[in-house]
Amino acid sequence: MHGGRLVIVPREVTRSPEEFHALLIEQQVTVLNQTPSAF
């Protein structure tokens, strides 16, 4: 494993599980770290 990048999620996307999932797929996210209040 090498490299990495930060994906900033727009606020409106954080409130839509469908849009959030689509963003994860589109950006090819393999590791996700978020605060508990985001759930």
How far apart, in whole angstroms, are the C-alpha atoms of residue 3 and residue 34?
A: 19
Please tell me the predicted confidence (pLDDT) of residue 18.
Answer: 98
Using pLDDT thresholds of 50, 70 and 90, give the confidence band for residue 2: confident
pLDDT digits (tens, 9 = 90+) for 5-32: 999 999 999 999 999 999 999 999 999 9
Q: What residues does each domain of the chain span? A: 1-39
Most distant CA pair in the chain: distance in Å? 31
Roughly how many angstroms between the first and final C-alpha of the chain, as a whole number?
28
Please tell me the predicted confidence (pLDDT) of residue 36.
Answer: 86
Structure tokens at 15: 């409130």
